[in-house]
């Protein structure tokens, strides 16, 4: 098959991108953008260039207690290795005695998940636009031997111009052969992950099939809202025969089925032509891949943003004065476990 693959600037994983040197006192913390098991993401403004950023603050004690040291270090290392228009930028990282800090893009449009829930489902051209941008990002990551492993609408952010930024690399892994760790979001897990088999980068293409289905229908294909994960995993392992198909575009359904192929050796994105099969699929026929990569195609939805620091697209969280605790001197029991996070003081 002759297909012109989108050209991507490749950064070898061992060559890390240039990041800045930061400390907490460089920023004014405005509000919380999100919370998680290990800490929070804050909207901050630089005192120096006055730009807005998002800072992820992670408790070292919680990371160690929940055995997430390798995932946390992986996230930083993966973000230092990638530089792509549809992937969030890591500008720098540092630590103090209690916390890790990662300075990243502030992406003001919020999560694709929020837009999808508000819309209920996307029209076929809208789902195609976001799927195509995700496909470009996945192809770039795979060219660096990175498996992303956590594709879902919550991890796809919308920039001010409506184009995507993939975030949250906590499950990403540099791997040029196979992996076997059980991780990811249940609805998006490929059957080989559930069966505890070795797997490769094709699990990301499987997840893209799930994402396309969810964007077109409003829910993932095997979704079980009130059942245990056991029932969900049984349906995933049963395959497409367990799916109740809404009236999709026939070409979209064909591509979804090729992504949800049970046998990874027969799955689209993992065949002889790799991602070339994905880009050449008839559902994507009208996509100009080079223009899309350059963000020269107008996005289907433009976030309503009043100003540079407008965070109204994000849910409000109680602040609990947590920011006042950052930088306080405590016994540092875990600093040597995160050697790539600079000690920059406060």
pLDDT digits (tens, 9 = 90+) for 312-339: 999 999 998 999 999 998 999 998 999 9
Q: Give pLDDT, residue 345.
A: 54
**Catalytic option among 96, 105, 150, 277:** 150
Q: Give pLDDT, residue 180.
A: 57
The per-residue pLDDT for range 111-126, each reduced to its tens digit, is 999 999 999 999 999 9
Which residues contact residue 125 at a Cβ distance below 8 angstroms, ignoring those fewer than 6 apart? 300
Q: State the chain's maximal CA–CA distance in angstroms.
A: 61
150 is catalytic: yes
Same domain, 74 and 116: no
Please report, for the domain that includes residue 45, its CATH number: 3.30.200.20
Is 85 inside a domain boundary? yes
The per-residue pLDDT for range 266-319, each reduced to its tens digit, is 999 999 999 999 999 999 999 999 999 999 999 999 999 999 999 999 999 999
User: Is 199 in contact with 190 (CB distance < 8 Å)?
Assistant: yes
Q: Give pLDDT, residue 228.
A: 77
Same domain, 61 and 156: no
Instruction: Answer left, alpha or beta for residue 286, where phi above 0 means left and psi between -120 and 50 means alpha.
Output: alpha
Is 12 inside a domain boundary? no
Q: Give pLDDT, residue 12.
A: 46
172: nearest Cα among 64, 20, 13: 13
107 versus 7: which is more confidently predicted? 107
Same domain, 238 and 119: yes
Q: To the nearest whole number, what is the mean pLDDT of the chain? A: 91
Long-range contacts of 173-176 (CB under 8 A, 24+ apart): 173/74, 173/78, 173/146, 173/147, 173/149, 174/13, 174/74, 174/77, 174/78, 174/81, 174/144, 174/145, 174/146, 175/145, 175/146, 175/147, 175/200, 175/201, 176/145
- Is 152 within any annotated ligand binding site? no
Is 300 inside a domain boundary? no
Same domain, 134 and 100: no
Give percent of the chain with pLDDT exceeding 70: 93
Give me 252's structure tokens.
Answer: 């979209």
The per-residue pLDDT for range 220-270, each reduced to its tens digit, is 999 988 767 899 999 999 999 999 999 999 999 999 999 999 999 999 999
Give me 31's structure tokens.
Answer: 């509000």
165 strand-pairing partners: 157
Q: Give pLDDT, residue 227.
A: 67
Same domain, 201 and 128: yes
> How many domains does the chain fold into?
2
Same domain, 85 and 38: yes
Same domain, 141 and 283: yes
Is 301 inside a domain boundary? no
CA distance 318 to 269: 43
For the stretch 312-345, what's the b/e string if a residue is b when 16 or more beta carbons lie within 10 angstroms of its beta carbon? Answer: ebbeeeeeeebbeebbeeeeeebeeebeebbebe
Q: Which domain holds residue 168?
A: 112-293
Give percent of the chain with pLDDT exceeding 90: 81
Which secondary structure element, helix H or strand E, spans residue 256, and what is its range? helix 250-259
Residue 2 clears pLDDT 50, i.e. is over it: no
Is 17 inside a domain boundary? no
Same domain, 117 and 232: yes
Q: What is the mean pLDDT of residues 55-60?
A: 96
Residue 181 clears pLDDT 50, i.e. is over it: yes
CA distance 149 to 188: 9
Q: Give pLDDT, residue 14.
A: 56
Residue 4 clears pLDDT 60, i.e. is over it: no
Is 212 inside a domain boundary? yes
Same domain, 205 and 186: yes
Same domain, 155 and 45: no
Same domain, 215 and 101: no
Residue 7: band (very low, low, confident or very high) from pLDDT cuts 50, 70, 90: very low
Is 16 inside a domain boundary? no
Please report, for the domain that includes residue 170, its CATH number: 1.10.510.10
Q: What is the mean pLDDT of residues 45-63?
A: 96
> How does DSSP classify residue 196?
T
Model's pTM, two decimal places?
A: 0.92
Same domain, 177 and 36: no
Is 15 inside a domain boundary? no
């Amino acid at each position: 098959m002759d297909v012109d693959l989108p050209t991507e600037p490749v950064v070898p994983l061992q060559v890390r991108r240039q990041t800045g040197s930061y400390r907490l006192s460089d920023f004014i913390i405005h509000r919380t953008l999100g919370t998680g098991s290990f800490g929070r993401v804050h909207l901050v403004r630089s005192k120096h260039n006055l730009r807005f950023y998002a800072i992820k603050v992670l408790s070292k004690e919680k990371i160690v207690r929940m055995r997430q040291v390798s995932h946390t270090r992986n996230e930083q290392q993966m973000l230092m290795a990638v530089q792509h228009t549809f992937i969030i930028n890591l500008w720098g990282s540092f630590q103090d005695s209690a916390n890790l800090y990662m300075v990243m893009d502030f992406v003001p449009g919020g999560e694709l998940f929020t837009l999808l829930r508000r819309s209920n489902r996307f029209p076929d051209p809208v789902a195609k636009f976001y799927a195509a941008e995700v496909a470009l990002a996945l192809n770039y990551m795979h060219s660096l031997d990175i498996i992303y492993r956590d594709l879902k609408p919550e991890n796809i952010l919308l920039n001010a111009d409506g184009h995507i930024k993939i975030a949250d690399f906590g499950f990403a892994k540099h791997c040029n052969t196979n992996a076997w760790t059980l991780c990811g979001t249940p609805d998006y897990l490929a059957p080989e992950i559930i069966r505890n088999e070795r797997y490769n980068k094709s699990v990301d293409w499987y997840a893209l099939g799930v994402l396309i289905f969810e964007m077109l229908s409003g829910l993932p294909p095997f979704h079980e809202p009130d059942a245990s994960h056991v029932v969900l995993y049984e349906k995933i392992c049963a395959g497409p025969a367990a799916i109740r198909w809404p009236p999709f575009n026939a070409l979209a359904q064909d591509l979804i089925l090729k992504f949800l192929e049970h046998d990874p050796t027969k799955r689209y994105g993992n065949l002889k032509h790799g991602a070339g099969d994905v880009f050449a699929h008839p559902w994507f026929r009208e996509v100009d891949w080079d223009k899309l990569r350059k963000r020269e195609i107008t996005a289907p939805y433009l976030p309503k943003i009043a100003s540079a620091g407008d965070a109204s697209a994000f849910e409000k969280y109680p602040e609990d004065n947590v920011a006042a605790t950052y930088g306080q001197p405590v016994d540092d029991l875990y600093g040597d476990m995160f050697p790539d996070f600079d000690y920059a003081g406060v």
